[in-house]
């Protein structure tokens, strides 16, 4: 007989999480102070990078329930730089464990990551880079730079989490077909059991061991809530139920031989296979076993031919069922050439410079290098403005603005700054060499400032 060793309680298969990576520390503006040295050089250290937030698939997590009441996860900030070229420590990364089989979606519903294997990791929010201290800006032209970089802000966003159970065997049947009774018989799972449809409103997992100690097969069985006709189109919360079947290695199609609503066994089989095929056609290629349940109260004249007939109440046919399920699971595991790996389609902010036109007619410059170029501590300092001008030219910001159709007098937003574009005489598409009165901090938060 099987050994009952586990069950899952307090289950949630959908949740939201808010991730906030740490901000980078600011660079330091400092000058060396020593005895008998009247004008020491710059020695401001760099700020530390902010901590990242990672989602990590863990076998120690079985549900998303922990995110329901506590959805916020935040990494620590990087520390600011200090004088004497002392760099600030980086923020500590945060690893957020999620159940194996968790799919991550963005606000628009697009799939960002599929953490299908234990140990899979996905960067949910990248920490901000630390700012460079004024010692980094020392050059032959700038002997005493009095400015440094501010730290970047860490990424921050809401994500939708969706769990698809990684069961070896999924029990599929119409409501009240005996799935909950069966899983309670073969494992330690204790789902609610009653003689009316939709007793099960959430999936349950049961762990079963078959065979002698030392030569036994262990597998996980999922009791999937009862399907109804039209489930593939979402009827009866069909999509929420069916997704838990997707990753099962084998299926048990459970036919009620004593249906209360007089739906014949053959009709039950037709409905179940049709809904599986409509939802995911490949599910019909999955190893499956058609089992008739409730043999102890079965009606006469069964019009279907199940491969096995059982009774979860009396135990009839249960040992043979488990032996056959163990064999199917072992065969399916051997057939898997390699485990599913994380599928990440998230695309971080491009390093390329991009210019877009806003609805108000102004221009917005995007691209991490351009945003970093203006993240200085003091843009009222002439040396800082000179650095910004030369840096933006090297990055090709002016060329991108000209290609986007910018004209003299147009407002350009770059991170949290805005300036009025003015072409330099004799230089096509160049920003004025005397832009100090034209560069100002924007009163609104610039687009693209969040990396």
* Average pLDDT of the residues in 317-325: 93
DSSP conformational letter for 233: G
Helix spans in 94-178 (H)? none
Confidence check: pLDDT of 154 > 90:
yes
| Delimiting residues of CATH 3.40.50.300 domain(s) in the chain | 169-335
215, burial (CB in 10 Å: exposed 0-12, middle 13-18, buried 19+): exposed
The confidence score (pLDDT) of residue 230 equals 54
Phi-psi domain of 125 (left: phi exceeds 0; alpha: psi -120 through 50; beta: other): beta
For residue 344, what are the β-bridge partners?
none
Please tell me which of 70-74, 196-200, 334-338, 440-444 the model is most confident about, judged by mean pLDDT: 70-74
Q: Residue 265's pLDDT band (boundaries 50, 70, 90)?
A: confident
Sheet with 102-105, side-by-side order of all strands: 72-74, 14-20, 156-163, 102-105, 111-115
Residues 6+ apart with CB under 8 A from 121: 54, 55, 56, 57, 95, 115, 342
The confidence score (pLDDT) of residue 190 equals 55
Name the token pair of 236. 């009866």
The confidence score (pLDDT) of residue 202 equals 64
Q: 169-335: CATH homologous superfamily?
A: P-loop containing nucleotide triphosphate hydrolases (3.40.50.300)
Interhelix angle for 179-186 vs 318-335, to 10°? Answer: 90
Task: Calculate the CA 121 to chain-centre distance.
Answer: 9
The confidence score (pLDDT) of residue 4 equals 41
CA distance 410 to 431: 12
Confidence check: pLDDT of 209 > 70:
yes
Percent of residues, the chain, with pLDDT higher than 90: 31
Q: Residue 227's pLDDT band (boundaries 50, 70, 90)?
A: low
* This model's pTM is above 0.75: no
Confidence check: pLDDT of 229 > 70:
no
Q: Residue 431's pLDDT band (boundaries 50, 70, 90)?
A: very low
Please check whether residue 71 is in contact with residue 15, taking contact to mean a CB–CB distance below 8 angstroms. Answer: yes
Q: Which of 41, 38, 32 lies closest to 145 in space, CA to CA?
A: 41
Does residue 29 or residue 415 have the better pLDDT?
Answer: 29
| Delimiting residues of CATH 2.70.210.12 domain(s) in the chain | 11-163
Burial 21-59 (b: 16+ CB within 10 A, else e): bbbbbbbbbbbeeeeeeeeeebbbbbbbbbbbbbbbbbe
- 281 three-state secondary structure: helix
The confidence score (pLDDT) of residue 395 equals 87
Confidence check: pLDDT of 445 > 60:
no
* Average pLDDT of the residues in 271-298: 88
The confidence score (pLDDT) of residue 3 equals 45
Confidence check: pLDDT of 349 > 80:
no
CA distance 335 to 285: 13
Q: Residue 262's pLDDT band (boundaries 50, 70, 90)?
A: confident
Confidence check: pLDDT of 430 > 70:
no
Name the token pair of 205. 């997992």
Confidence check: pLDDT of 433 > 50:
no
The confidence score (pLDDT) of residue 328 equals 92
Sheet with 439-441, side-by-side order of all strands: 354-357, 363-366, 411-414, 417-420, 439-441
Please tell me which of 254-258, 262-266, 294-298, 301-305 the model is most confident about, judged by mean pLDDT: 254-258
Please check whether residue 102 is in contact with residue 115, taking contact to mean a CB–CB distance below 8 angstroms. Answer: yes
Q: Select 354-441's CATH number: 3.30.300.350, 1.20.1280.50, 3.40.50.12280, 3.40.640.10.
A: 3.30.300.350
Q: Which CATH class is domain 11-163?
A: mainly beta
Does residue 431 or residue 212 have the better pLDDT?
Answer: 212
The confidence score (pLDDT) of residue 345 equals 45
The confidence score (pLDDT) of residue 79 equals 96
Tell me the pLDDT tens digit for each residue of 362-405: 999 988 888 888 887 777 888 888 888 888 888 888 888 888 88
Please check whether residue 226 is in contact with residue 173, taking contact to mean a CB–CB distance below 8 angstroms. Answer: yes
Tell me the pLDDT tens digit for each residue of 71-129: 999 999 999 999 999 999 999 999 999 988 899 999 888 899 999 888 899 999 999 99
The confidence score (pLDDT) of residue 160 equals 94
The confidence score (pLDDT) of residue 350 equals 55
- 214 three-state secondary structure: coil
| Delimiting residues of CATH 3.30.300.350 domain(s) in the chain | 354-441
Q: Which of 101, 104, 1, 109 lies closest to 61 in space, CA to CA?
A: 101
- The vertex-148 CA angle with 145 and 154, nearest 5°, equals 165
Q: With the CA atoms of 189, 192, 194 and 200 taken in that order, what torsion angle do they form, in degrees rounded to the nearest 10?
A: -100
Please check whether residue 74 is in contact with residue 52, taking contact to mean a CB–CB distance below 8 angstroms. Answer: no
Q: Residue 23's pLDDT band (boundaries 50, 70, 90)?
A: very high
The confidence score (pLDDT) of residue 189 equals 58
The confidence score (pLDDT) of residue 200 equals 47
CA distance 266 to 388: 75
């Amino acid at each position: 007989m099987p050994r009952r060793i586990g069950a899952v309680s307090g289950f949630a298969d959908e949740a939201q999480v808010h991730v906030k990576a740490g901000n980078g520390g600011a660079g330091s503006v400092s000058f060396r102070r020593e005895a008998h040295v009247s004008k020491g050089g710059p020695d401001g250290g760099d700020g530390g990078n902010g901590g990242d937030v990672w989602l990590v698939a863990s076998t120690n997590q079985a549900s998303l329930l922990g995110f329901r009441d506590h959805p916020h996860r935040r990494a620590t900030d990087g520390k600011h730089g200090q004088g004497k070229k002392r760099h600030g420590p980086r923020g500590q990364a945060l690893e957020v464990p999620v159940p194996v089989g968790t799919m991550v979606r963005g606000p628009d519903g697009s799939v960002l990551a599929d953490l299908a294997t234990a140990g899979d990791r996905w960067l949910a929010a990248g920490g901000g880079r630390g700012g460079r201290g004024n010692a980094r800006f020392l050059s032959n032209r700038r002997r005493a730079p009095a400015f440094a970089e501010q730290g970047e802000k860490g990424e921050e966003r809401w994500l939708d989490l969706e769990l698809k159970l990684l069961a070896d065997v999924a029990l599929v049947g119409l409501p009240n077909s005996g799935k909950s009774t069966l899983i309670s018989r073969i494992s330690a799972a204790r789902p609610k059991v009653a003689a009316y449809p939709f007793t099960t409103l959430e999936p349950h997992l049961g762990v079963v061991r078959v065979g002698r100690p030392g030569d036994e097969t262990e597998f996980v069985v999922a009791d999937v809530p009862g399907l109804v006709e039209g489930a593939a189109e979402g009827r009866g919360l069909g999509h929420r139920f069916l997704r838990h079947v997707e990753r099962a290695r084998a299926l048990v199609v459970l036919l009620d031989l004593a249906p209360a609503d007089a739906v014949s066994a053959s009709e039950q089989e037709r409905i179940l296979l049709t809904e599986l095929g409509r939802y995911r056609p490949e599910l019909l290629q999955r190893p499956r076993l058609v089992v008739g349940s409730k043999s102890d109260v079965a009606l006469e004249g069964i019009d279907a031919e199940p491969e096995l007939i059982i009774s979860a109440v009396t135990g009839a046919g249960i040992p043979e069922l488990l032996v056959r399920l163990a064999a199917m699971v072992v065969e399916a595991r051997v057939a898997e050439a390699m485990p599913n790996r994380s599928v990440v389609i998230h695309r971080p902010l491009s390093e390329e410079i991009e210019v877009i036109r806003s609805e108000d007619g102004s221009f917005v410059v995007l691209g991490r290098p351009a945003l970093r170029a203006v993240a200085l501590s003091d843009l009222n300092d002439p040396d800082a403005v000179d650095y910004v001008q030369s840096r933006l030219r090297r990055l090709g910001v002016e060329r991108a603005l000209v290609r986007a159709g910018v004209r003299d007098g147009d407002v350009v937003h770059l991170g949290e700054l805005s300036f009025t574009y003015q072409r330099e005489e004799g230089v096509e598409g160049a920003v004025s060499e005397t832009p100090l009165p034209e560069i100002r901090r924007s009163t609104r938060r610039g687009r693209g400032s969040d990396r």
